[in-house]
Amino acid sequence: MKNLLLQNISKHVSLTSEEDDIIFNAFDKASLKAKTIAIKPGDEAHFTYFVLKGILRSYTIDDNGTIHILSFATPGWWVADMYSYLTGKPAVLYVDVMEDCDVLILQRSDAERLFTEVPKLERFFRILTENNLIANQQRILDKMALTAEERYEKFLQKYPDIINCLPQKYIASFIGVTPEFFSKMKSNLLRKK
Amino acid sequence: MKNLLLQNISKHVSLTSEEDDIIFNAFDKASLKAKTIAIKPGDEAHFTYFVLKGILRSYTIDDNGTIHILSFATPGWWVADMYSYLTGKPAVLYVDVMEDCDVLILQRSDAERLFTEVPKLERFFRILTENNLIANQQRILDKMALTAEERYEKFLQKYPDIINCLPQKYIASFIGVTPEFFSKMKSNLLRKK
DNA sequence: TTTATTTCTTAATATAGATTAACAGCCAAT
DNA sequence: ATTGGCTGTTAATCTATATTAAGAAATAAA
Q: What is the pLDDT of residues B23-66, one digit of tens each?
A: 999 999 999 999 999 999 999 999 999 999 999 999 999 999 99
High-pLDDT (> 90) share of chain A, %: 94
Full domain range(s) for residue B52: 4-119
Q: Which of A64, A89, A144, A174 to mutate to test the interface with B (most CBs of B within 10 A)?
A: A144
Ranges assigned E (strand) in chain A: 28-32, 37-39, 47-61, 67-73, 78-79, 94-107
Residue B14 within any structural domain of the chain:
yes
Instruction: For strand D, list residues 135-174 of chain A whose Cβ lies within 7 Å of it.
Output: 167-169
Q: For residue A65, is it left (φ>0), alpha (ψ between -120 and 50) or beta?
A: left
Residue B182 within any structural domain of the chain:
no
Q: For residue A66, say whether its CB is under 7 Å from any atom of strand C.
A: yes
Residue B37 within any structural domain of the chain:
yes
pLDDT value of position B2: 67
The C-alpha angle A173, A67, A150, rounded to 5 degrees, equals 15
Q: What is the pLDDT of residues A132-176, one digit of tens each?
A: 999 999 999 999 999 999 999 999 999 998 998 899 999 999 999
Q: For residue A184, say whether its CB is under 7 Å from any atom of strand D.
A: yes
pLDDT value of position A190: 84
**B178-CA/D17-C1' distance, Å:** 8
Residue B25 within any structural domain of the chain:
yes
Residue B149 within any structural domain of the chain:
no
Q: A-chain residues within 8 Å CB-CB of B115?
A: 123
Q: Which residues of chain A have pLDDT under 50?
A: none
Cβ distance B115 to B121 under 8 Å? yes
Residue A181 within any structural domain of the chain:
no
State the pLDDT confidence band at B193, using cuts at 50, 70 and 90: low
Residue A110 within any structural domain of the chain:
yes
Q: Which of B83, B126, B175 to mutate to test the interface with A (most CBs of A within 10 A)?
A: B126
Residue A29 within any structural domain of the chain:
yes
Q: In chain A, positions 104-123, which contact chain B (CB-CB < 8 Å)?
A: 115, 119, 122-123
User: B146: closest CA among B176, B123, B179, B122?
Assistant: B176
State the pLDDT confidence band at B1, using cuts at 50, 70 and 90: low
pLDDT value of position A193: 61
Q: What is the pLDDT of residues B115-159, one digit of tens each?
A: 999 999 999 999 999 999 999 999 999 999 999 999 999 999 999
| CATH number of the domain within which A82 lies | 2.60.120.10
Rounded CA-CA distance A72/A101 in Å is 13
Count of domains in chain B?
1
**A125-CA/C15-C1' distance, Å:** 44
